[in-house]
Chains A and B, each alone.
Chain A
Amino acid sequence: GNSVTQMEGPVTLSEEAFLTINCTYTATGYPSLFWYVQYPGEGLQLLLKATKADDKGSNKGFEATYRKETTSFHLEKGSVQVSDSAVYFCALITLSGNTPLVFGKGTRLSVIA
């Protein structure tokens, strides 16, 4: 079946530090990959996505590259801000299988000034 594994949190960084949140997946078929972000008290917002191998999704300074050979979609940002504090979810979707969207457990990021 399909699954997503993300690094355990919480992750605490100082402002302007470099961020990496690891995400690996297993999937039957050819998945599309997503990162969603959930700010405190809010629902999930799409952060970025990639639909085929070697695609790079990017938004608000965040980037992730679809690596089919390593089945990974790691999230990176060169310089985090306090406002980036949130929970980040890696997710995949495929046309095959019964579950349209599969999420990782989420990684909580806290950025301190």
Chain B
Amino acid sequence: ETGVTQTPRHLVMGMTNKKSLKCEQHLGHNAMYWYKQSAKKPLELMFVYNFKEQTENNSVPSRFSPECPNSSHLFLHLHTLQPEDSALYLCASSQDHFAGGPPDTQYFGPGTRLTVL
């Protein structure tokens, strides 16, 4: 089952384009995440939002700009990307991972396959 949806599922863009990835979670969670999955590399955490506040920016280049207008929606705005940014971008959500209890499970969306030409 997945309560996390992502659009679009596939995106091809040129290096001068501006596009946005969208993620929506229907699980009542309050933490959301962006990950990058490149071929032959481990999953890389990009950004974390907790209660709409960004709590992690894992040294991500400024050409990636996240936005979290509410606890259910997360965007990743893209501009002037490079071909090496081509990857699968995964969104995930969980309950607040600093709520004091055991860290909670993250649930993933299907991903957006991005190709930068």
Q: Is A93 a contact of B111 with CB atoms below 8 Å?
A: no
Q: How many residues of A contact B (CB 8 A)?
A: 23
A-B contact count (CB 8 A): 56
Contact residues of A between 76 and 100, Cβ < 8 Å to B: 89, 93-95, 98-100
Q: How far is B97's CA from A98's CA once the two chains are assembled, in angstroms?
A: 11
For the complex, is A32 an interface residue (Cβ under 8 Å from B)?
Answer: yes
Q: Is B2 a contact of A43 with CB atoms below 8 Å?
A: yes
Q: Is A103 a contact of B43 with CB atoms below 8 Å?
A: yes
Which residues of chain B come closer than 8 Å to A51, judged between CB atoms?
Answer: 102
Besides A93-B103, A98-B56, A100-B103, 4 more A-B contacts (Cβ < 8 Å) are A45-B2, A49-B105, A95-B97, A99-B58
Q: Supply 13 A–B pairs (Cβ within 8 Å), ascending by A.
A: A42-B110, A43-B4, A43-B88, A43-B111, A45-B2, A46-B105, A93-B106, A94-B103, A99-B45, A99-B58, A101-B45, A105-B41, A106-B42
